Amino acid sequence: MKKILIIIISSILLSSIKVQTFAQNSDINTHKLLKTARKLFNDEKYSEALKNFLQLDSLIPNDNVIKYKVGACYLNSKHKKTNAIPYLEAVSKDKSIEEPKIVFKELGTLYHLDYQFDRAITNFQKYISLSSKNDKYLIYAKRMIKICNTAKKITSQEFNADVENVGYPISTKNSELNPLISSDESIMFFTRIINNEENSNIKLKKYDQKIHFFYSNNNDGVWSDPIEFSIPYSDSKKNISLAGLSPDGTQLFINIYNNKRQDIYSCEFIAGNCINLKKLNKNINSKFNEGRVSITPDRQQLYFSSDRPGGFGGKDIYTSIKKSNGEWGKAINLNLPINSIYDDGSPFIHPDGKTIYFSSKGHETIGGCDIFKSKLTKNNWSEPKNIGFPNTTKDDLYFVLTADGQSGYYSSIQNNLLINTHIYKINLKGSIPLTLVKGRIFSGDPKKPICAKIKVIDNKTNTKIKYVYNPNPKTGRYLMIFPPDKNYDMIVEAKNYLPQRIHIYIPNQTYFYELFQEIHLRPITSLGKKVGENISVNNTFYDIYKTPFADSIIKYDTTGTKDYDQLLKLVEDIINTTDSIGIEKLEHSNENTLSDSSKEEKNYDRLFSLIEKAIETTDTVSLQILDENTLYNKKSSQSYFYATDNKKNNLQQFIIDEDTIYTVPTLYTKTNTKRGTYINNFKKKEAEKFVKNTNAVNMRTSKKNDRKIILEYNLYFNKNKFLINKKYIIKLNQISELLINNPSLGIEIFGYADTQGEEYFNLNLSIKRANSVLKFFVDKNIDTKRTIIKGFGESKSFGEKNKEQLLKNRKVDIKIFDVITKNKKK
């Protein structure tokens, strides 16, 4: 369109202006210079033509044909467009021009670009006054007046953020655009357009095109030197561009222009390489053009732009939800108020799932494509709001935001300088209310990372939420993001353990919080048997904005000494969504992990490395925040014991999303204390002291049917003897340790005798035998309230036909039990 306007206005000027003849100057060189300039201009080599016309303007300062040519070159060259203003102003004031209205239109456009909105409005009004009702640019001029008025309002508002060029090594003298940022800001993908003529010193690859793809890692807030990567598409001559990135930074979306249309492809980005490139299905890719993509953290919902028929005009934004078979469902137009009659694209859905950013030439734009924001409330999108500065009068595209709401990235041509696009970072003052849960899961003593799956349930709706987070099997580290003011249950499934259910509450908040969490699973053993399992959860939840020493923690080791570590900036470097992937794919992959860990490592090493980086300096089991603004730092634990009678295994049944899940009783994490202390794992002396000072539950009042027997052991005695044989001491010590470490357990001590001798004597003998065992445990600081003791004499004896059978009746039967209670909370 610009070229047509140049031809039109050139014809008007050449026919209307009394051009000075160069013959009057009798300067052959001037004639030659003019001829060269005109040829370059007609060949659309505006940058070279400009040099010649500027020289001619200095030689012939009053020639408005030359001035127009200078202005036209500025409009179409890589130099500052608004430099054309004084030249076109001179042309517009020349009364010899028969139809100057096209100049007023161009001046209005240029003044708008230069933020001189009142002058822009004046020139558009002049254009309208000179135009007929059928003028093809009349609608444009009227809309530009509206845009200028909007721009005056928006640019006068205070912008609560700082904007800066990301700088070297990302920004160069080339154009960098289309930034894609993982939600934790650890990796950036971008496009660089290299001018081969201006960069002859750069060693380009054999398949070199002007468009190149790079990625850079964020190391402690500093971007690394960009590394180029290629898209594995068979035809490298096709127009290929970056389209989107999953929040965890591992799934890349690509636009490929093929057969007169642009389609969306996806691939996994692992170790600097794009693998498994595949085209999205027909619900996403139509016979028309599909553009920018954004995907939710769980990879279950996609947002993308398309110019397919049936929209509101230009490009529209659509969404698609993944079906149970893993395929994308029908694309649904987001409709009003998101889409307008103009181009709407470059969607970015924030990890909170309720905030969308997009670029649009419609709505209340201040010019070109502006970045807009809309919030989802009760299934309805709010009226899009122009985010204000840093939107410019030119195109502002590809906006992405980190999960903590503190940093945004976008590409723009700022200040109307050279037509090079650069990447900018916005350091926002506000924040999006989210909670980042980061933690580790271990098993055993000494503790080691364990391969596990985590499901998260929204207790209000009693449904399994789409976010499923798998810990790294090598480190046990995981990250999760939750909206505030909700109760969640985590169901943890780990190999060789029963499913555990952990209740967590995310308090109401107005900005970003972090929850540090450690889950530790331990087998409970005695006499060489696994009799139960223990789970402990250490939670530290605090306000990172009100904590003066947010970078510092106290790390307690087993000797009680303190070591102060400086953490990475908690807001900027630790973000939520990093290890969430699709439900079906994740669960399938996790099953493979249990039998083939190498496959998991191959597919998810990049994802796990992001999680490791997020909490690499933190041992959360020993985490204790220095500041008083800690909301709580509390350890919760409970033990579950296996019944020798399977009918008494009190697993809890839950029906979630039509799935039946059995777990051990729910562990309710404690949140009612502002500050807490961490209790280290029991050492023997510490444990004995703890048990001695504990008010034990009176097990003697428990009902027999409520006692779940978890371990049985028999001691045998010689005839008429009641003292314990030394050979049993080791086993009894092991039972004592089990009781010491688990104060909730009780013990039955039942004595017996054979039928030899008087019945009364045998009854007393059985009681003495039971008391002998009781004394052993009392000496180990086992409270007598936890014991149930009884002598049965010879009443339970049977089958005494030989010495071996007589020996079996001279015994003490020890039974360790747990009392079954409903809704037991620890």
Does residue 314 or residue 581 have the better pLDDT? Answer: 314
Residues 697-737: tens digit of each pLDDT: 688 888 888 899 999 999 999 999 999 999 999 999 999 99
Report how far apart, in Å, the C-alpha atoms of 472 and of each of 121, 437, 449, 505, 600 are: 59, 15, 8, 24, 9
Confidence of residue 510 (pLDDT cuts 50, 70, 90): low
Query: Is residue 430 packed enough to be buried (19+ CB in 10 Å), middle (13-18) or exposed (0-12)?
Result: exposed
Average pLDDT over residues 51-80: 85
d(CA 748, CA 282): 68
657 within 8 A of 587, measured Cβ to Cβ: no
Confidence of residue 289 (pLDDT cuts 50, 70, 90): very high
Average pLDDT over residues 774-801: 88
What pLDDT is recorded for position 387? 82
User: Could you say which DSSP state residue 411 is in?
Assistant: E
Report how far apart, in Å, the C-alpha atoms of 634 and of each of 456, 461, 476, 551 are: 21, 27, 20, 20
Average pLDDT over residues 458-468: 70
For 152-220, what is the HEC assignment?
HHHHCCCCCEEEEECCCCCCCCCEEEEEEECCCCCEEEEEEECCCCCCCCCCCCCCCCCEEEEEEEEEC
d(CA 275, CA 252): 10
User: Collapsing DSSP states into helix, strand and coil, what is residue 779?
Assistant: helix
CATH for 684-819? 3.30.1330.60
d(CA 641, CA 658): 28
Name 494's Cβ contacts closer than 8 Å, sequence gap at least 6: 441, 443, 450, 451, 452, 453, 500, 521
Identity of the residue numbered 279: K
Report how far apart, in Å, the C-alpha atoms of 552 and of each of 457, 470, 567, 618, 632 are: 32, 28, 6, 10, 16
Average pLDDT over residues 317-328: 94
Domain boundaries, the chain: 2-155, 161-428, 435-580+598-668, 684-819
Topology of the domain covering 435-580+598-668: Immunoglobulin-like (2.60.40)
Does residue 623 or residue 403 have the better pLDDT? Answer: 403
Query: Is residue 10 packed enough to be buried (19+ CB in 10 Å), middle (13-18) or exposed (0-12)?
Result: middle
Q: Which residues make beta-bridge pairs with 212?
A: 192
d(CA 112, CA 122): 11
**Which pTM value belongs to this model?**
0.55
d(CA 566, CA 113): 46
User: Collapsing DSSP states into helix, strand and coil, what is residue 421?
Assistant: coil
Topology of the domain covering 161-428: Neuraminidase (2.120.10)
Confidence of residue 368 (pLDDT cuts 50, 70, 90): confident
216 within 8 A of 223, measured Cβ to Cβ: yes
Domain 2-155: give its CATH superfamily: Tetratricopeptide repeat domain (1.25.40.10)
Is the confidence at residue 203, as pLDDT, over 70?
Answer: no
Calculate the average pLDDT of the chain: 76
Max Cα distance, the chain (Å): 150
Residues 434-446: tens digit of each pLDDT: 676 777 889 998 8
Confidence of residue 456 (pLDDT cuts 50, 70, 90): confident
User: Could you say which DSSP state residue 470 is in?
Assistant: P
What pLDDT is recorded for position 62? 84
User: Could you say which DSSP state residue 322 is in?
Assistant: B
Rg (CA), the chain: 38
What pLDDT is recorded for position 582? 32
3-state helix, strand, coil in the chain (%, to 5): 25, 35, 40
Residues 634-670: tens digit of each pLDDT: 578 888 899 888 777 778 887 776 778 788 888 877 5
Name 469's Cβ contacts closer than 8 Å, sequence gap at least 6: 454, 456, 478, 479, 480, 579, 580
What pLDDT is recorded for position 648? 73
Is the confidence at residue 570, as pLDDT, over 50?
Answer: no
Residues 123-170: tens digit of each pLDDT: 999 999 988 888 889 999 999 999 999 989 888 877 667 788 898 999
